[in-house]
Amino acid sequence: MAHITRRIGLSLGADICWPICYEALLKQLDLKLNIGNDTVSFDAERVEITPFNLNKPARYDVVIDRLTHWYHTSREWIKQAVVYDDLYVFNNPWSLQSMEKHTTYSAMMRLGFPIPETWMIPPKSYVESPDLKLTLSRYARLFNLGDIGDEIGYPLFMKPYDGGAWVGVTAIKNREALLKAYEESGTRVMHLQAGVIPNDGFVRCVGLGPQWRFVNYDPDAPLHDRYTMETDFLTADEQDTLSKMTMVINAFFGWDFNSCESMRSNGVWHPIDFANACPDSQVTALHYHFPWLIKANLRWSLFCAASDRKMVTNLDWQSYFDIAARDIPFDEKLDAYADIAMKRLESEQFEEFCEQHLPHMDEVANEFFASDTVRDAIHQKVESLFPEHEIESFTELFWQRIQDWRAREGGAQPV
């Protein structure tokens, strides 16, 4: 029986707390798995930014990437390693352009998802380029923005077609506000999207591999309170719908890790924002939900490494489009889409792996999230973001929320 070490690379930017906890919990698990004729162990290593030889094999089996959506050197190294050495990476670096709202709205509209009415409008201003004046004089046509707004109806939202993190998003209540916001939008290409009115629910479903977490989300709260600590706020049918929507979106685009925001109106869940190249992973945002993220990340990356999972290089959208063309209700289409998605995410194989090789993770994690290592990781992250006079109080706040998680969901006693 051979001993094999699978290496998991962490490609990081400003991340602080989650890699500390990921590395420490992996070490504490001390895994030596009997897989086939081999004994498999795992190492985690932070990926350094260095020159790289294009014909040199990658030293990792899996990379968890948090950097390439904005740092091109790492993106190109990861792309090279995928095509040259079959490196498995999440998320797929070629999916970054499809992480634009525009692409995701268009695709899910075709699949019949109840996306609110959305328009793209040309930018108010342009960056000068040699062919700009000639192009605009020949082809740009005047339009009445107010009439478009009236057709969509108010309230509506103006937001960058490729944006994220709520940057550049404006709630528009009337024609005058729309014209003012457009005047101030600069060179950004914007969407106008109908508001989901009335609404009585706003949920963020986080998907990581074939795993999901439902969060009652409050976008108007301060960052540390947007992810509420409510549980059991959805019916079983709603959980089924939202999890399937999230998994279908992720599998359709080849994403392993993403979050899907949906609003409920008259009993129907409308996805409004579901393309995120770098979903929240910091304790300062997730707090109560942070332990779930660490465990889910570990489970999926260990499964990918141990099973030598291959990158999906052919997304085969046609299989989804064939279902979309059927004259059947959307619920039936969603079930059929979800069957494809779960096969692509190897849901059954993943569950078997976790049952066989990681049955002790919950118990080890419950103890781990009461440790000084976790509290120190929280402190380091808080220290990087908060003013000095708030560091200790917010460290204590996030620490206690994690202890609340241990008491309510982890089977631990309150501390």
Task: Kindly write down the DSSP assignment for every residue of 257-316, as one continuous string.
Answer: EEEEEEEEETTEEEEEE---SS----HHHHGGGHHHHHHHHHHHHHHHHHTTPPP-----
Cβ contacts of residue 160 below 8 Å, gap of 6+?
Answer: 101, 167, 168, 169, 188, 189, 190, 191
pLDDT exceeds 60 at position 13:
yes
Sign of the four-CA dihedral 312, 316, 319, 320: positive
pLDDT at 414: 45
| Average pLDDT over every residue of 76-104 | 89
pLDDT exceeds 50 at position 415:
no
* Average pLDDT for the chain: 94
Can you tell me whether residue 73 is helix, strand or coil? helix
pLDDT band at 125 (very low <50, low <70, confident <90, very high): very high
Going from N- to C-terminal start, the domains of the chain cover: 2-97, 117-194, 201-408
Cβ contacts of residue 88 below 8 Å, gap of 6+?
Answer: 61, 62, 63, 304, 305, 309, 310, 311
pLDDT band at 298 (very low <50, low <70, confident <90, very high): very high
pLDDT exceeds 70 at position 215:
yes
Describe the strand order of the beta sheet including 170-172 as a list of residue ranges. 118-121, 190-194, 156-160, 170-172
pLDDT at 412: 60
pLDDT band at 165 (very low <50, low <70, confident <90, very high): low
pLDDT at 100: 81
Task: Kindly write down the DSSP assignment for every residue of 110-122, as one continuous string.
Answer: HTT--PPPEEEE-
pTM equals: 0.94
| Average pLDDT over every residue of 99-126 | 93
| Average pLDDT over every residue of 268-274 | 95
pLDDT in tens, 356-409: 999 999 999 999 999 999 999 999 999 999 999 999 999 999 999 999 999 999
pLDDT band at 107 (very low <50, low <70, confident <90, very high): very high
Pick one of 2.40.30.20, 3.30.1490.20, 3.40.50.300, 2.40.160.20 as the CATH number of 117-194.
3.30.1490.20
191 vs 164, residue with greater confidence: 191
pLDDT at 385: 96
Span 2-97 CATH architecture: 3-Layer(aba) Sandwich (3.40)
| Average pLDDT over every residue of 251-267 | 95
pLDDT exceeds 80 at position 166:
no
| Average pLDDT over every residue of 200-216 | 97
Q: Are the C-beta atoms of residues 283 and 378 closer than 8 Å to each other?
A: yes
pLDDT band at 164 (very low <50, low <70, confident <90, very high): low
Instruction: Tell which residue, 1, 12, 91, has the closest CA to residue 44.
Output: 12
